[in-house]
Structure 1
Amino acid sequence: MVIIRRSTMDDVALIAAQRHSMFLDNEFATADELDTMNVAFEPWLRERLADGRYLGLFAEEDGVVLAGAGILFNDFPPHYLHVEAGRPYLLNFYTEPVARGRGLAKELLKACVEECRVRGCKVVTLHASKFGRPIYEKFGFEQTNEMMIKL
């Protein structure tokens, strides 16, 4: 039976490894670039786990983590879409290859959105990979007008 559990400080290396695999599977960066990212990511994550700005969730079966996801509770000004300060950002969705196709990402997405709802959040954002887009769209996420420049 699959359970959803919250991450702890003991999960920092696992979250980093899943994030690395997520980017590698999507061919967003090389393994060397991702190794460099991990060196900066782990202390960043520890700080945010400790103060509650990051919440990790795992789908686990018989003590084995099969999938993970995270919520970054960002500072964001009151907005016409929501007057409460802050806006959660969903990230780090990853399912182990042997567990894909079982609906674990969907279950983690439901748990993440419910956590945001319980905290009173009115808008939740994320960036979708080609693999995740169909799951997010079925859940009701819509494309927005966000743009980016790389400096």
Structure 2
Amino acid sequence: MARVRMAGQGDAGTLTQMRCAFLEELGQALPDGFADHLRAWVEAAFADGRLLCWMAEQDGKILGCAAVNPYAHLPSAGYPAGVGWYLLNVYVKPAHRRGGVAGSLLTAIGSAAREQGIDMLSLHSTEPAWKMYERYGFRPSMDAMSMALATG
């Protein structure tokens, strides 16, 4: 069984590798230098609390990871404390999929969020993963929209 732990600065390289693998599986062509840029971002985000990450490991090998970006939200009925976590980069290495690794990560993150009084966990997902997220309490939201501002 995989053990889930919080990641730290020493895991920035592993998280970078897993994020790049995740993006490439989604069909993104990563430009030259992207991994170096990402690693610098991850290191800075770990340092200032913009990124929290959990790693699933077994026998000293990382099987998967999941991260959250904490965010402030104007308090409302759904956000009484005014704090949410955006879940991203839930990634399990292909050889370890369908073995409960993602579920262990989601359980650990849900527990941590409850302990810290987080109002909401939100995410974007590929359609094949919807049923898994629904098993852990996530529900579809039809009120979200986005506007891409980045060029290139």
Q: Name the TM-score, length of structure 2 as normaliser.
A: 0.88
Q: 1:112 to 1:149 in 2, by over 3 A?
A: same
CA offset at residue 37 of structure 1?
Answer: 4.2
Query: Which residue of structure 2 lines up, in the alignment, with residue 97 of structure 1?
Result: 94
1:1-150 equivalent positions in 2, closer than 5 A: 1-27=1-27, 29-32=28-31, 35-144=32-141, 145-150=143-148
Aligned residues: 148
Amino acid at match of 1:67: G
Identity %: 27
Q: 1:121 to 1:31 in 2, by over 3 A?
A: same
CA offset at residue 119 of structure 1?
Answer: 0.3
Structure 1, gaps ≥5 residues long: none
Kindly report the root-mean-square deviation, in angstroms, between the aligned alpha carbons of the 2 structures.
1.7
SS of the residue aligned with 1:53?
Answer: coil
Query: Cα deviations across residues 15-56 of structure 1 (Å, max 9, x unaligned)?
Result: 1111111121122x1133xx5543433222212211333211
CA offset at residue 70 of structure 1?
Answer: 0.9
Alpha-carbon distance in 1 for matches of 2:75, 2:46:
24
CA offset at residue 109 of structure 1?
Answer: 0.6
Q: Name the TM-score, length of structure 1 as normaliser.
A: 0.88
SS of the residue aligned with 2:127?
Answer: coil
Query: Cα deviations across residues 3-25 of structure 1 (Å, max 9, x unaligned)?
Result: 11111111111111111111211
CA offset at residue 126 of structure 1?
Answer: 0.8
